[in-house]
Structure 1
Amino acid sequence: MVLQREQPVPVWGVATPSEEITVGFAGQIKSVIADKSGKWMVKLDPLTTSTVGREMLITGKSKIVLSDILVGEVWICSGQSNMQFPVAAVPEVKGLIPFMKNIRSFEVGRTVSLEESEDVIGEWSTEHPSSAVAFGFAYFLEELSDIPVGIIHSSWGSSSLEAWMPRNMGSELPYFKEIMDEFDGDKATQERIAQILESPTKWSNQDDIFLRRQPNILYNAMIKPLVPFANRGLVWYQGERNTRYLSGVPEVTEENWFHRVAGMKEYGSVLKEWMLRYREEWQNDEMNLLVVMLPGYGKGTEKKTDIDPEDPTEESWAWIRESQLQVLDLPYTAVANTIDLGDKTNIHPTDKLPVGQRLALLAAVNTLGGDRLVTGPMMLDVQEKGSELVVHFSNAKGLKTSDGKAPSGFWLADEAGDWKRAEARLEGESIVLSSEGISQPKYIRYAFAGMPKVNLVNELELPAYPFRTDSFEH
């Protein structure tokens, strides 16, 4: 395995009540007496990076030896199907396998539990993580830092944010309490879950979908048992399940019961509460969160599936991207911009290699130190100049377009909110916008569409982040 460096490292287990347990690793020896229920925990003092595999010796009435333990950076990679998306389906990522070094992985078995579990299905391995995004991230992070990387991969396709939420978040989020109250009162669902879990045969696809689209019970089985394993943070690639409605928790029918989740506009505030709750669980206020922005996609919501993927007024994924960016309100967070990636018709795009690269850049600088540029241009402020608006950016060194053409993806609106495509030109590290149809432009939307055509990048070829300066509902 890999143990997290530069943090206290909990080691815990179960023994006979009042049994003395001693843990030895890397020159440290820690002892503890098991409590009356047999539970025990020690915390190793912060460890320094090690690429040499060493043994941990745990002794009591019996002896356990854990071997080939490295010390480096540990990250949990979680989410839904685009995090689960396999290495084998992305040739560019698969091609990295022969060159990997000092990467360890722990694949969390996909199951559910009606109660918070203490045990987890899985084991540490010297194999690469099965997830293309998680492996790409680990590979490039190790390459950038020359520090071992341990990935705990815990994801499940089509799961909502609510699936990964602790039950007691209902006290902070009334809508989630309502969802859990409904879940608790649904005896048929409880019985079906129990029957699936007790079945001696492999689950059917229908059973699999039924389990992973429930609230809370993925957290119980696939996250809670990982606590308090020391880690640097969480890489989160999820949100698609929460895009079916622009706003609100919909009333649902038997056919679409799995849509009982927060809408795109609420997602951001819920995501922030969720991350604060995870930090509380790990008792680590500096636990990092790296969010993968949802990439380009050309379909809309349940209200209107067929949309113009470039129109900034449609109910598109633009709204959940805006919500995802709200996590930047919290310290120790970053968002990997993927607005130039994706597939108009396929919710599972294969361009996963740059996702891993961008996440690794963020992790290397934000958590390991350094001053290199690691994000694309972000809107700083807007200046009015007659019939033009001038946008100033941060992270804009070497601002240019990737194809040498005029910047694209900008729209302007007047006071009434009548949106028109903007003419855009580069001026140093700024963009000047105008539109023939608007004499007094007031508002801007950039890359604010399902799958906008964008080409604005900085010197590292990192794309500019989507933004809007208006407060219109659509």
Structure 2
Amino acid sequence: MDVPVWGTSKPNEKITVKFANQTKSTIAASNGKWMVKLAPLTVSKTGRAMSITGSSEIILSDILVGEVWICSGQSNMQFSVKAVPEIESLVPFAKNIRSFEVKRIVSFKEEDNVIGNWSTTLPSSAVAFGFAYFLEAIGDVPVGIIHASWGSSSIEAWMPRDMTKELPYFKTIMHAFDKDITTHNNIQKSLDAKNGWTRNEDIFMRRQPNILYNAMIKPLAPYACRGLVWYQGERNTRYLSGVPEVTEKNWFHNVIGMKEYGTVLKLWIERYRKEWHNDNMHFSIVMLPGYGKGTAANPDIDSKSPTAASWAWMRESQLKALDLPNTSVVNTIDLGDEKNIHPTDKFPLAQRLALQAAKFTLNKNVVAEGPMLDSIEINDNTLVVHFKNSKGLKTTNKKAPTGFWIADNSLKWEIADAKIEGETVLLNTTKLKKPLYVRYAFAGKPDVNLVNDANLPAYPFRTDIQTTN
């Protein structure tokens, strides 16, 4: 892809950029802003210098050329390398990885400049570093990670203000935020504090709408990057549907619920692509893994139930990203922790992210996805589930597939007797004469064992979408 290089100078000044045997010149605008675009570059593991010349000269040294990815989201993206021993063990073997750690800060307006520097220091995020490590190995290409995450942030925190035009609920949120002078004053006080802000102030800022985008994402565009890894959603699982009425006690719940998240996510992806002027910008969504709690209203649920208000609804929303081109969703249904919202099993997640990036952006011939629902065939009292990516369909423990529930028109769900036949799964139960619908792994922390020959897990699904929501 073309590589934008931009900055500011004196008004109407001639600017010349030289890098990798290319020379590009432009004249700065009357406000001093300028940009040139280098033609697509070939991979380089050897550091080279870039010169930028106007009335003075800047030399940027030791620049590699490879795959650049933004890694963003909330606390599970922020989760540190040191907290995951398996990923930390990779550190001595890492090579050709660069990182840009975006400072966690907010702004009431869209900023031009971001706080941070490119470094040979490895990414601090376990997911981001693991992803970079495996992608570098599979692709034989340098990897640059721009890490911009902040714990407990909602998708609304990372949304540009103009998304209020498409999303009435976000317009309502921003209208309330704009009128809240007390909140604005408290945030400004924290930003102005000479010794930094307290933990409570940190939490208060990162749980606000829009202002993370303004400071931490907007200034990154249009940096030439292959895609964005998005590990976020936990904050938006507080409600099954809609936006709650906010009180002083639950001020931080002012977010969209799980059922609507998928629609918002798709609009958010399209809006980011517009900011980067790149319809091919790949978005890799990390599906939320297994977890045993429910919503804010009903946290104590049966984590194996296919009907509970669990994270299953968020996963269904996240999978809606696949409606758009140049997207992927990394399946984590076999991962996670029943009681811990910050699971440590980030190693396989990083591997799967790298596999998908290798397949979908580097065109590597690798299996990157587990079985996905293709169709359901009704054969008397048996449901036959056909899958995509089903070569070598098997279970991890050589037992019958688990996690399948079936129902008839009454939508009373029963555990299915499941059996693999070739690349399909046969489902039935003596409790139902005419089963019609299937829910697979549609629970907070389901017990699952179905994989393909690449040992990648089958994606959760339900087929009763037309009859219920």
Same fold (TM over 0.5): yes
RMSD: 0.7
Name the amino acid aligned to 2:166: E
| Equivalent residue number for residue 65 of structure 1 | 59
Q: How does 1:296-315 map to 2 (within 5 A)?
A: 296-315=290-309
- Would you identify which runs of 4 or more consecutive aligned residues in structure 1 move more than 6 Å? none
- Structure 2 vs 1, CA of residues 473 and 245 (structure 1 numbering), >3 Å: closer, same or farther? farther
Contact 2:5 2:35 (C-alpha < 8 Å) held by counterparts:
yes
| Equivalent residue number for residue 118 of structure 1 | 112
Q: 1:360 & 1:44 partners in 2: Cα distance?
A: 27
What's the CA shift for 1:438?
A: 1.1
Equivalent position to 2:330, from 313, 331, 336:
336
| Equivalent residue number for residue 202 of structure 2 | 208
| Equivalent residue number for residue 3 of structure 1 | none
Mean CA deviation greater in 66-75 or 198-207: 198-207
Q: How does 1:135-214 map to 2 (within 5 A)?
A: 135-214=129-208
CA deviations on 1:371-407 (whole Å, 9 max, x unpaired) are: 3221000010001111110000010000000011100
What's the CA shift for 1:303?
A: 1.9
Q: 1:469 & 1:255 partners in 2: Cα distance?
A: 38
| Equivalent residue number for residue 72 of structure 2 | 78
Name the amino acid aligned to 1:450: G
| Equivalent residue number for residue 226 of structure 1 | 220
Q: 1:306 & 1:437 partners in 2: Cα distance?
A: 28
Q: How does 1:11-410 map to 2 (within 5 A)?
A: 11-410=5-404
CA deviations on 1:50-102 (whole Å, 9 max, x unpaired) are: 11100000111111100110101000000000000000000000000011110
Equivalent position to 1:440, from 411, 419, 434:
434
Q: 1:372 & 1:355 partners in 2: Cα distance?
A: 16
* Structure 1 gap ranges (5+): 1-6
Q: 1:180 & 1:62 partners in 2: Cα distance?
A: 43
| Equivalent residue number for residue 450 of structure 2 | 456
CA deviations on 1:205-225 (whole Å, 9 max, x unpaired) are: 110000000000000000001
Q: 1:186 & 1:410 partners in 2: Cα distance?
A: 48
What's the CA shift for 1:370?
A: 2.8
| TM-score normalized by the length of structure 2 | 0.99
Name the amino acid aligned to 1:276: E
SS of the aligned residue for 2:203 comes to helix
What's the CA shift for 1:473?
A: 4.0
Mean CA deviation greater in 463-472 or 229-238: 463-472
Name the amino acid aligned to 1:137: F
> What's the % identity of the aligned pairs?
65
CA deviations on 1:396-429 (whole Å, 9 max, x unpaired) are: 0000000111000000111010001111001000
Contact 2:190 2:196 (C-alpha < 8 Å) held by counterparts:
no
What's the CA shift for 1:202?
A: 2.3
Q: 2:68 & 2:317 partners in 1: Cα distance?
A: 27
What's the CA shift for 1:121?
A: 1.0
Contact 2:406 2:416 (C-alpha < 8 Å) held by counterparts:
yes
Q: 2:58 & 2:358 partners in 1: Cα distance?
A: 34
Aligned residues between the structures: 468
Contact 2:358 2:366 (C-alpha < 8 Å) held by counterparts:
no
Q: 2:366 & 2:141 partners in 1: Cα distance?
A: 18
Q: Does 1:429 align with 2:434?
A: no
Q: 1:333 & 1:35 partners in 2: Cα distance?
A: 36
Q: 1:201 & 1:183 partners in 2: Cα distance?
A: 26
What's the CA shift for 1:107?
A: 0.2
What's the CA shift for 1:300?
A: 0.2
* Structure 2 gap ranges (5+): none
Name the amino acid aligned to 1:110: R
